[in-house]
Chain A
């Protein structure tokens, strides 16, 4: 069974390294956007953690902020840690993790396409499922389609 690393234990470990930008919540380890690449690299390259697999990246719109969820797995040690990154809704930008886990490339493109969050340092940040020139980001809560309205 996958062991979910207790977020408060992990936070205590990471706090020494990264300071106060890492906060544990019940299920997540909250990380500020600026610290994300450092924390991710630490989780990936620390031998006894060895988070070599980026399971999933997704995001949700909460009206005043975006929340990104990263699920990291260690296939060798069968460990799981979930990161949560909150980012400002006015100019949403988060560092890309595509350099660490190539598996992030398409998923980050999808988030960029549907929610309009920029991933700085992404090698190829284009729309993926919608076409070039499409206006707006459908998964944002204030999205209105020209033809169908909000759809509900």
Chain B
């Protein structure tokens, strides 16, 4: 006798420990196989783009921190770059190097959180996470030394950065650069052959290169599928054309490859920081700009490679002291376009890992 079955609708989230914020997936299940997914956005929508239109250019810098609170420094960057392009502000060389060093430190911190929290989702409960946080703490100490803050740094300014590094920073950074590769090796020993990790990520959530491109994904999601595309190489901004580094890519586009790409990117970031430290010239950290900056009317687009992908800022000025329109191309928001495709046909338990492997912070997704 055949069992009578019917589809089952399950709400994952909005408050669920593995949603990395407040995100809801309305999942239609057949047994434990996902038949359909309706991702529901907007629980953290604060109308940031509208708020930008109501504040002066300078008042908006701290708001841009709050887009992606896991990598605040990287979020300042496209916004100040866009304003600098519009207003024709020159950035001193030293400031460019400081931006690169701080931005890459932030990338490592962000990737550590991404990898650690996916391990949590997998059921390697808090062991891996705490190892990752041990090093993340050291990075945050470094950032605190420079900016005085530990989460939202409000570090960049038009024409430079808010303050130069203190004398104790470079010795502390040198020590960090010496010890960090050893810790990354430790993670590899702990995780790369870990049976839980392999069983839960190999061949799970496979994203074909073609659909990764067609869905406009970027960052480790795109590179995990084998597409060698990184803004730091493809359209170098700031001083990235002066550093030697590789773009790690995956082969199969599964969750494991996305994890590998992030681990490898941390090593590349260390390489960049080391070169930036050696090349950094003396000089001013900031070009003075008027408090009430009025860029000439016009529009521009600035983009960087944030830990999550291509982060862009489209800015329109009408010549007044407030932006006329400011739009952020949020990489995590656009990466989530593939979520439905990745989840259909997978098991419910894998949905959590696939979602985590995209790596997002809801502040940026909902804006």
Question: A-side interface residues toward B, CB under 8 Å?
Answer: 1-2, 27, 52-56, 58, 60-61, 69, 71, 75, 78, 82, 101-107, 110, 114, 127-131, 138-139, 151-152
Contact = CB atoms under 8 A, between A and B. Distances in A.
Contacts of B211: 102
B227 A129 contact: no
Q: Is the interface of B mostly helix, strand, loop or mixed?
A: mixed
B329 interface: yes
A60 B324 contact: yes
Interface of B: 41-42, 45, 47, 49-51, 54, 211, 213-217, 227, 229, 234-236, 299, 301, 310, 312, 314, 316, 324-325, 327, 329, 333-334, 336-338, 366-367
A60 B316 contact: yes
Contact of B312 (A55, A78, A101): A55
Nearest to B301: A71
Contact of B54 (A1, A61, A151): A151
B215 A103 contact: yes
A149 to B, nearest CB: 11
B199 to A, nearest CB: 30
B234 A78 contact: yes
B45 A102 contact: no
B214 A101 contact: yes
B215 A129 contact: no
Contacts of A1: 234-236
* Most chain B beta-carbon contacts within 10 A, residue among A56, A60, A151, A152: A56
Given A102-B216, A106-B333, A139-B49, 20 more contacts: A1-B235, A52-B213, A55-B310, A56-B301, A58-B314, A58-B327, A60-B325, A60-B327, A61-B325, A71-B301, A75-B227, A102-B337, A103-B215, A103-B337, A127-B42, A129-B41, A129-B42, A130-B42, A138-B47, A139-B325
30 contacts: A1-B234, A2-B235, A27-B299, A52-B214, A55-B216, A56-B301, A56-B314, A58-B314, A58-B329, A60-B324, A60-B325, A60-B327, A61-B325, A75-B227, A75-B229, A78-B235, A102-B216, A103-B216, A103-B337, A104-B216, A105-B337, A106-B333, A107-B216, A128-B42, A129-B45, A129-B366, A130-B42, A130-B45, A151-B51, A152-B54
